[in-house]
Amino acid sequence: MAATDRTAPDTRGDLPLWTGIARQADYWWTVYRRTWRSSVVSSFLAPLFYVVAMGVILGGFIEGDPDQLEGASSYLAFVVPGLIAAHAMQTAVGETTYPVMGLIKWQKVYDSMLATPLQVSHLVGATLGFVLFRLVTTCAVFTAVLAPFGVYESWWGPFLAFLAQVLTGMAFAGLVYGVTARLQSESAFGLLFRLGVFPLFLFSGAFFPVDNLGGVGSWVARLTPLWHGVNLSRMFALDNVTWWLAGVNVAVLLVLCVLGWSWSVTGLRKRLVS
Amino acid sequence: MCSEPAAPASMIRARGLRKSFGDFEAVRGIDVDVRRGEAFGFLGPNGAGKSSTMRMVAAVSPVSGGELRILGMDPAVDGPAIRSRLGVCPQEDTLDTELNVRDNLYIYGRYFGMPKKEVRERVDELLEFVQLTDKADAKVEDLSGGMKRRLTIARSLVNRPDLLLLDEPTTGLDPQARHVLWDRLFRLKQAGVTLVITTHYMDEAEQLCDRLVVMDKGVVAAEGSPLDLIREHSTREVAELRFGVAAEGGSHEAIAEKVADLGERVEVLPDRLLVYSADGEEVVAKTVERGLRPVATLVRRSTLEDVFLRLTGRTLVD
């Protein structure tokens, strides 16, 4: 067996980020082929159940008053954009907790990757890239499936709402990835879901206008990242955009994405490159 | 495209190399030179600093102090370029257990930027080399321990490395699987691959290494070929004497005093005495002449284990 006619080595210095990410495409594609069937249930069926139960059936008992529902003419139209944004959060958190812990600790796939020319930022980049892919497919399918229900007020609204939902997911992906990289054990995930994800899901404006939480409550809700995503998604879907507020929402989510990236890369580097 | 330096005299060159984790110093200033084409070993017990050294050489763990050059390059600056020319077989298998055997190799080759067609050909070649062709489509979790190790070695060869790092390659394997692995490694060595091996098995070091350093507590205790080290630090033969302590009416230490003059030196282990001498049979005969009755005796050649015992006062596996 020839041992000497080796592959051309990489150039000296750091490997460009995009090169490092692209080299993992086959890995993530293989992961997706392996897991897409099970992800169909969590990605599409579960949220669809929510839409039917909360939006259609429960919503049937709620009067469609645009003044009470942030401009929505029905409860279904109100709840759908918020629900997809909240679902984007859940998808992102799901993909950056147990699966990332597996890559770091259980299967040590990251360790094997770091023995190649790949660097820590490439690992984070490709994993978050996969989360982005999951968010894009999930939110796009969801948005398309709900179009016939007449919940969108303009043709362009769903597209911008879709971008808002993906951005919401990515803001959470970076933050939670950074937490996972610093956790020694998966036992804290239960706490994260119960005290973080679940309250956000319920109280960040996905199911009812946050003004219903009262003076202090509504402002606390407005400080949560998910509210910014829900609000942005809903304003676009309902064609009821307050542009300065949309600007604030986008800025908050973008800042969280940038902070999340940095938090993730430093966390993983500290964990694996000691 | 690449600006690699001309072939360096040393594949690995370390001077005063250190590694600390907080207050703990795992590697405390070692000098090492590994030449092209040789099989070089780091021999030492667990905690000697072998794996920490290996992680620095693998351009994964940053150096805490001293100088390190791998293939003539500085790992702090040229980590990716160094790693593109290394093969790493870690102590713990880091295979993706949910992928099949072939995919584990294919995907790994892609991390090195190898074109798809080239990786596919390389994977077939490597499966043949590690005798796993008929397991190509099996899941990793269905493989035996020895097969997983061979697959890990195949994976470390996917980029046709100049330098192959093997961290405790046969730990946990049964004797037959170890011999199969040694055979494959020996073939690689013959094909011109430079091997760097850490092990706490002296027979492995003797089988595979042209040259080695004995490490203990983060420093190099001795360096040389296995034969030179044995000649320098031990006698030709060793007489192992096992006593029923109660019957002899004394401790091993007390018996050791009675046979001390029979060899160059005597080591007292919990279960036996080792008497170092050029003629082991004579030691046994004279021991019996003195009225001592060992329950079991064994005369053997000195090994690296004896070298380690001499240098550190401890056994390798303790």
DSSP letters spanning B31-58: EEEEETT-EEEEE--TTSSHHHHHHHHT
* Domain identity same for B238 and B221: no
* Domain identity same for B164 and B288: no
Interchain CB contact of A120 with B (< 8 Å): no
* Domain identity same for B219 and B238: no
* Domain identity same for B203 and B129: yes
CB distance A4–B192 less than 8 Å? Answer: yes
Of B95, B129, B160, the CB nearest to A5: B160
State how far the Cα of A38 lies from the Cα of A95, in Å rounded to an integer. 13
* Domain identity same for B98 and B52: yes
B7 has a pLDDT exceeding 70: no
CB distance A30–B99 less than 8 Å? Answer: yes
* Domain identity same for B220 and B163: yes
pLDDT at B246: 57
**B contact test, residue of A15, A108, A112, A123 with most B CBs within 10 A:** A112
Q: Which two tokens stand for residue A201?
A: 């899901």
| Domain count along chain B | 2
Interchain CB contact of A117 with B (< 8 Å): yes
Are the CB atoms for B218 and B27 separated by under 8 Å? Answer: yes
Write the Ramachandran bin of B38: left for phi over 0, alpha for psi from -120 to 50, otherwise beta.
beta
Tens digits of residue pLDDT in A78-92: 999 999 999 999 999
> B3 in a domain, yes or no?
no
> B69 in a domain, yes or no?
yes
B77 has a pLDDT exceeding 90: yes
pLDDT at A4: 43
The domain boundary, picked from B175, B194, B225, lies at B225
Rounded mean pLDDT, B233-262 = 82
pTM for the model stands at 0.89
Are the CB atoms for B307 and B214 separated by under 8 Å? Answer: yes
Residues in chain B: 318
- Confidence at B1, pLDDT banded by 50, 70, 90: very low
CB distance A23–B192 less than 8 Å? Answer: no
State how far the Cα of A200 lies from the Cα of A194, in Å rounded to an integer. 10
* Domain identity same for B121 and B150: yes
CA distance A1 to chain B (A): 7
> B2 in a domain, yes or no?
no
State how far the Cα of B269 lies from the Cα of A205, in Å rounded to an integer. 73
Tens digits of residue pLDDT in A81-133: 999 999 999 999 999 999 999 999 998 999 999 999 999 999 999 999 999 99
Render B169-203 in DSSP notation, one character per residue. Answer: TTTT--HHHHHHHHHHHHHHHHTT-EEEEEES-HH
pLDDT at A34: 85
Strand partners of residue B240:
B274, B298
* Domain identity same for B131 and B189: yes
Q: Could you tell me the CA-to-CA distances from A196 to A11, A53, A93, A191, A224 in Å, in that order?
A: 44, 23, 10, 7, 10
Give residue B262's domain range. 234-312
State how far the Cα of A123 lies from the Cα of A95, in Å rounded to an integer. 14
Rounded mean pLDDT, B125-142 = 93
Most confident region among B7-21, B55-69, B282-296 by mean pLDDT:
B55-69
> B5 in a domain, yes or no?
no
* Domain identity same for B201 and B271: no
Interchain CB contact of A111 with B (< 8 Å): yes
> B27 in a domain, yes or no?
yes
**Radius of gyration from C-alpha coordinates of chain A:** 20
Are the CB atoms for A166 and A88 separated by under 8 Å? Answer: yes
A261 has a pLDDT exceeding 80: yes
Give residue limits of the domains in chain A: 76-272
Interchain CB contact of A24 with B (< 8 Å): yes
Write the Ramachandran bin of B136: left for phi over 0, alpha for psi from -120 to 50, otherwise beta.
alpha
Average pLDDT taken over every residue of chain A: 90
Residue A118: is it exposed, middle or buried by C-beta count within 10 angstroms (0-12/13-18/19+)?
buried
A226 has a pLDDT exceeding 80: yes
* Domain identity same for B85 and B198: yes
Q: Which two tokens stand for residue A161?
A: 């709402």
Residues in chain A within 8 Å Cβ distance of B63: none
CATH of the domain at B24: 3.40.50.300
CB distance A23–B108 less than 8 Å? Answer: no
Of A15, A109, A117, the CB nearest to B94: A109
* Domain identity same for B76 and B122: yes
> B177 in a domain, yes or no?
yes
- Confidence at A9, pLDDT banded by 50, 70, 90: low
> B317 in a domain, yes or no?
no
* Domain identity same for B81 and B178: yes
Percent above pLDDT 90 for chain B: 64
CATH of the domain at B260: 3.30.70.980
The domain boundary, picked from B198, B225, B252, lies at B225
The domain boundary, picked from B183, B200, B225, lies at B225
> B300 in a domain, yes or no?
yes
